[in-house]
Amino acid sequence: MSIQTVTLLYGILTFVACVFFFLLTVSNILWQFHGTYTIPLKTGPHVSVLVPARNEEQHIRQCLDSLLDQEYMNYSIIVIDDDSEDDTWNILREYMLRFPRKLRAVKSKSLPEGWYGKPHAMHQLASMAQGPYLLFTDADTVHSPRSIGKAVAIAESKQADLVTGYVHHLMPTFGEAIAEAGIYLVTMLSLPLWLVPSRRFPRISHAVGQYMLFRKAAYDRVGGYASVRDKVTEDVRIAQLLKQAGGKIVFWDLKDYVSCRMYSSYHEAIEGMAKNAFDYMDKNVLTLIGGTLFTTAAFLIPVLSLVLPLPWLEPAAPYLKSSAILTFYSWVLLTIDRRLPFFVPLVYPIVLINAMSASWRGFDRIRRKGGILWKGRKVS
């Protein structure tokens, strides 16, 4: 087979892959839009809203204010101070005194060996919860008044054991956007969301820890967060266990009901991505290498073909240029749907480079330092 034939085949395969990614992006957007027709409930089964908080003095007031202002009637809130080093506990005590019938605040027990901090906090929260539903949500989230009612409506109408989904991720700075937008790559490149509720395969599942409504019976059946006590991406892992046990997951669009600013700078965003990305790959170096090579071949080289003469790729040039343009439009659709900053499609190659570099950063930190320091704790 001649070099020209190989080059042409590379161009064709790249274009076919980018067509697939474009169609997957469109179908996932349509699927999530379908979920907007579910009408939020005003009352129903009791929901225990469970909030882990570690060093969250900047965010916890806004989170609690939004959770206390829900249209859904039958719920209570438990917040755990996960060994905070700032003023989080004093703020929680203030809220507990103001809203004694609705909100309970507790301090976390000491972290046992073999546990990471967040799973341990979630495990403690679940042990104090009442009612058939457990809603785990992060302390840096802000909820609309229909947040709880929407999730319960979805769970009841779809008979779901777990309702989760993309919240509205706020990325007000350029640095945050070019790092954080990479969180959507999973559902852009490999995961049809419409298959999540109907397929039993654990890998056909996804979860976002910022918002996870469990049916308590299903949560208990998989051993709760104790079963993922040493996992960095505990949200994804517990969803996979739930699927493995026969549970039903619904991944919905929650951007109109919950918002979250995960990080406050480019550096913090890269560290956060590094903490999660390599773990999401099961810490498999071959997967990391393969993902890097694939990203370069399928996305970065096509972009280069638009702006630079690449004589050795001339037979593939029309396909590569078409691939780059198609990928650009995929990012345009995603940007509109997820309300990302307008410039994200123009810099998507930088987003991809940041995603891969964060994965390699996670690998390097684990190999050389034994883990990544996050909120004063090392995770690996």
pLDDT digits (tens, 9 = 90+) for 239-274: 999 999 999 999 999 999 999 999 999 999 999 898
pLDDT at res. 98: 95
The arithmetic mean of pLDDT across residues 334-341, rounded, is: 97
* Res. 280: pLDDT tops 70: yes
Average pLDDT, the chain: 93
* CA separation for the pair 231, 226 (Å, rounded): 10
Q: Are strands 75-81 and 47-53 parallel, antiparallel or unpaired?
A: parallel
Helix (H) or strand (E) holding 186: helix 185-189
pLDDT at res. 198: 82
**374 contacts 201 by C-beta, under 8 angstroms:** no
pLDDT digits (tens, 9 = 90+) for 123-162: 999 999 999 999 999 999 999 999 999 999 999 999 999 9
The interaxial angle of helices 266-280 and 348-369, nearest 10 deg, is 70
Percent of the chain with pLDDT over 90: 79
Least Cα distance to 145 among 249, 75, 52 occurs for: 75
The arithmetic mean of pLDDT across residues 171-182, rounded, is: 96
**What pTM value is reported for the model?**
0.94
Q: What is the CA radius of gyration of the chain?
A: 22
The residues spanned by each domain of the chain are 3-30+268-379, 38-264
pLDDT at res. 372: 76
Give 78's strand partners. 50, 104
pLDDT at res. 380: 66
CATH of domain 38-264: 3.90.550.10
The arithmetic mean of pLDDT across residues 310-334, rounded, is: 93
259: tokens are: 């918002």
